[in-house]
Amino acid sequence: MTQVSPELFYSSFVALAGEYQSKLLQCWNSCPQYTALFRGEFLPGLAKRLKLCCYQKDYYTLDAVFYENADTTHFHDGTYVEYIAVALEHENDPGDSCREMNKLQLFSCPLKVLVTYPTSRGKGGSTQLLEEYADIIARGDIFHDVSTLRRQLVIFGWVGPRWEAFVYREGRFERLAV
For the stretch 12-60, pLDDT in tens is: 999 999 999 999 999 998 889 999 999 999 999 999 999 999 998 888 8
**Mean pLDDT of the region 112-132:** 89
Domain ranges of the chain: 6-176
For the stretch 80-103, pLDDT in tens is: 999 999 999 999 999 999 999 999
* Three state DSSP letters for the chain: CCCCCHHHHHHHHHHHHHHCHHHHHHCCCCHHHHHHHHHHHHHHHHHHHCCCEEECCCECCECEEEECCECCCCCCCCCCECCCCEEEEEECCHHHHHHHHHHHCCCCCCEEEEEECCCCCCCCCHHHHHHHHHHHHHHHCCCCCCCCCCEEEEEEEECCCEEEEEEEECCEEEEECC
Please state the pTM of the whole predicted model: 0.95
